Amino acid sequence: MASSSSCITFTAAAASRLVHLNPKLNPNLFKFKLKPISLTNKSLYTFVTLKSSSSSSSLPAGTTRSSNNRSITMSSSSSSPYSYNQQLVAAKKAASLASRLCQNVQKELLQSDVQSKSDKSPVTVADYGSQVLVSFVLQKELPSQTFSLVAEEDSGDLRKEESQETLQRITKLVNDTIANDGTYNVTPLSETEVLTIIDCGTSEGGPNGQHWVLDPIDGTKGFLRGDQYAIALGLLDEGKVVLGVLACPNLPLESITSQHQNALNKVGCLFSAQLSCGTYMESLDGSTPVKVHVSNTENPEEASFFESYEAAHSSHSLSGSIAKKLGVKAPPCRIDSQAKYGALSRGDGVIYLRFPNKGYREKIWDHAAGYIVIAEAGGVASDAAGKPLDFSKGRYLDLDTGIIVTNQKLMPALLKAVQDSLKEQALPSL
Ligand code: AMP
Ligand code: MG
């Protein structure tokens, strides 16, 4: 028996099930200890194997060994028969297909005249179309009785008499995209089926079982302007984000700066992350994935920061004051959508600041995929009080004041600058 050190990731529930039910994890074959994934996350565990068989045939079903033969991951869910690897592959396929539909709609929109550019219907069509495709692909790739999707859209408006034409357009776009892709040999979806598939996204999420979390087009304002947007898909398992995919059709593979933010890229980027396995980036047309890492910069003078393009989504004056306090020299890079998390995960900038107006409730689909893309790239996202984001509370995030993201080393200084600026802002002006 070869001796090697390897790493297997499970929830506590799955770990105990495996130990009791799977003879292949017999201590005669595996000597291991259980270690929490992180100090703050005590519900996900790693079996650190001290001794294991080199033969993959001794691995439990659904387990895979990475090419360097050191890392093994498998489904940790008590409610899914699929491994995280299988689920990530399906998520990538779903987001890629949805982004193809969105790219076609945006191309048409940008070629149209000024009058139709002020019309919001293209984004409506692409939004619903993207949700249908993601839901369709996930259910085709991972058939399951327990499919649960928390997504932004429902079919209410589309069922109205005046939406008949829009529904026809969505149905045609979805069917054309499926036919052009060629993977699924299905009869074209009817309008009724399209409505039913959209309504698969009405799950409430929560702390138990698995839930897919989808923003079919994050950054609709950016989509209409011809700028950045993202198809953002994450998976919750027992309330934690365990994998995520960000398809960013207008984000170049090379680093962006504020000067280049409007440069449209024909191919686009796909970020994918899986718990304990890192974050990878590839082109949307399928280049070899490369592992990405957040910037390690500790010096705020070298740190540029991202924020929303739309001032209505995040206070630009508050982020300006935080940046000044920290000593950040570079101007803010303002782009739409969770493309900010993707860009940050590969070190395009160092900080992301988000401070919506008081009373605004953040939705889980606006952050789930971005959260794991950043975490697995070595970064950290928290609320303005330094607490990790909690995705287990249903469709909304329950958080304090705002969301801040940076690398581990810079977080303490950033948190202090944020809290000082918030205190100053709360003082009555003299
Ligand atoms: P961003 O492109 O980063 O500005 O964020 C886009 C997301 O902001 C959209 O998907 C919306 O869900 C969300 N959003 C919409 N209205 C607001 C608001 N008033 N404040 C903060 N976020 C908002
Ligand atoms: Mg959104």
DSSP assignment of 75-93 equals: ---SS-SS-HHHHHHHHHH
Segment 296-313, tens digit of pLDDT: 999 999 999 999 999 999
Scan for tokens 């900010």, then name that residue.
Answer: 340
Quickly list H helices, 289-352.
316-326, 339-345
Contact 148, 203 (CB under 8 A): yes
**What distance in Å separates the CA atoms of residue 227 and residue 224, rounded to the nearest whole number?**
7
Please pick, among 46, 171, 220, 279, the residue that the annotation labels catalytic: 220
Query: Does the annotation mark 348 as catalytic?
Result: no
Ligand 1, residue 354: give the atom nearest the CA: 3
pLDDT, mean of residues 310-325: 97
Please pick, among 9, 46, 127, 348, the residue that the annotation labels catalytic: 127
Segment 38-94, tens digit of pLDDT: 444 444 444 443 333 333 333 223 333 333 333 334 444 557 899 999 999 999 999
CB atoms within 10 A of CB 379: 26
Cα(89) to centroid of ligand 2, in Å? 23
What lies within 8 Å, CB to CB, of 171 at 6+ separation is 188, 189, 190, 191, 194
Q: Whose alpha carbon is nearest atom 6 of ligand 1? A: 219
What lies within 8 Å, CB to CB, of 247 at 6+ separation is 95, 96, 98, 99, 230, 231, 232, 268, 269, 270, 284
Segment 143-202, tens digit of pLDDT: 998 999 999 989 999 999 999 999 999 999 999 999 999 999 999 999 999 999 999 999
In DSSP terms, 36 is beta-bridged to 45
pLDDT value for 112: 76
Between helix 121-141 and helix 164-181 the angle, nearest 10°, is 50
Query: Does the annotation mark 166 as catalytic?
Result: no
The structure's pTM equals 0.83
Token representation of residue 184: 């699924």
**What distance in Å separates the CA atoms of residue 114 and residue 276, rounded to the nearest whole number?**
47
| Residue predicted with more confidence, 127 or 37 | 127
Token representation of residue 417: 């600058």
Q: Does residue 288 carry a pLDDT above 80?
A: yes
Q: Which residues line ligand 1 (CB under 6 A)?
A: 215, 218-219, 308, 310, 312-313, 336-337, 356-357, 360, 363, 366
| Residue predicted with more confidence, 107 or 390 | 390
Q: Are strands 305-307 and 333-334 parallel, antiparallel or unpaired?
A: parallel
Contact 320, 334 (CB under 8 A): no
pLDDT value for 426: 83
